[in-house]
Amino acid sequence: MDKSLERKIISEIIGKHIRLARTVKHNLTLENTTELTDLDYNNLAKIERGEQLPSVPTLVKLYETLGISFDEIFDEIIKALAEMRKS
């Protein structure tokens, strides 16, 4: 499988979970989230759109702030990559 495609899949899954946790679970705006995490607004927006893969420290900060489970995300990533490899 193409590594750039794998990276895109991972970025999109992470971004989707961050956006859902931020908007649905916590009813936060991007601005609120950047204040809570001390992250840059534009970078956070790119992460949520799946355009940027966050660093591990950024990911940990976001997941802790938003109460996202790493297990849940990794399970989805593993399943998505396995499906792509079957194709």
pLDDT single digits (tens) 19-30? 999 999 999 999
pLDDT single digits (tens) 28-83? 999 999 999 999 999 999 999 999 999 999 999 999 999 999 998 999 999 999 99
Instruction: Count Cβ neighbours within 10 Å for each residue of 8-37 and write b for 16 or more, e otherwise.
Output: ebbbbbbbebbbebbeeeeebebeebbeee
62 CB burial (10 A radius; 0-12, 13-18, 19+): buried
The tokens describing 45, both together, are 């927006």
Longest distance between any two alpha carbons in the chain, whole Å:
42
The confidence score (pLDDT) of residue 1 equals 59
Q: Is the pTM of this model over 0.85?
A: yes
Domain of residue 72 covers 3-86
CATH code, domain with 55: 1.10.260.40
The confidence score (pLDDT) of residue 72 equals 84
